[in-house]
């Protein structure tokens, strides 16, 4: 997956073609036309997604969208503490009938609650090794 967190992510799609990613996601706060962004990716034969900062309302999801990605905390901020509003945000995103992903803030402490909220995919960096061993006996 490629998550384009750049101004006008549509301008980066030609470069993404050579990587052969299975999915390309763009940050809605950084684009002027989400429908054109999604249709351009679909024309490449690739799955397409839109990413939303925790404070951005999830509205106007183009029908061709495959994935809604929600940032689990304010973009660019660390440490990776999960914003408590995420659970309502996940429920809102699920109402569109798309895959829902979370980027940032997942940990052993909130993993069960995230699963219960309906999130389909969790992108994890800092807590990756803790999460891949979740539920396994030592």
Put residue 20 in one of left, alpha, beta given phi > 0 → left and psi -120 to 50 → alpha: left
Alpha helices in the chain (DSSP H): 13-17, 34-43, 86-94, 111-117, 128-132
List the chain pLDDT tens, one digit each, 138 residues: 899 999 999 999 998 888 888 999 999 999 999 999 999 999 999 999 999 998 999 998 999 999 999 998 766 655 557 888 899 999 999 999 999 999 888 877 888 899 899 999 988 765 555 555 555 555
For the chain, the structural domain boundaries read 2-132
What is the model's pLDDT at position 57?
A: 94
Give the H or E element holding residue 67: strand 67-71
Place of tokens 């009938």: 97
Give the domain 2-132 fold.
TIM Barrel (3.20.20)
What is the model's pLDDT at position 110?
A: 85
What is the model's pLDDT at position 27?
A: 96
């Amino acid at each position: 997956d490629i998550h384009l967190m750049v101004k006008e992510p549509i301008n980066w799609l030609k470069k993404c073609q050579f990587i052969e990613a299975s999915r390309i996601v763009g940050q809605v706060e950084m684009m002027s036309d989400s429908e054109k962004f999604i249709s351009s990716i679909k024309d490449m034969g690739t799955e397409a997604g839109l990413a939303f900062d925790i404070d951005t309302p999830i509205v106007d999801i183009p029908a061709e969208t495959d994935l809604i990605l929600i940032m689990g905390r304010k973009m660019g901020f660390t440490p990776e503490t999960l914003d408590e509003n995420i659970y309502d945000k996940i429920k809102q995103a699920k109402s569109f009938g798309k895959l829902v992903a979370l980027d940032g803030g997942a940990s052993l402490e909130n993993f069960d609650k995230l699963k219960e909220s309906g999130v389909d995919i969790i992108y994890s960096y800092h807590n990756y090794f803790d999460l891949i061993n979740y539920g396994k006996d030592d």
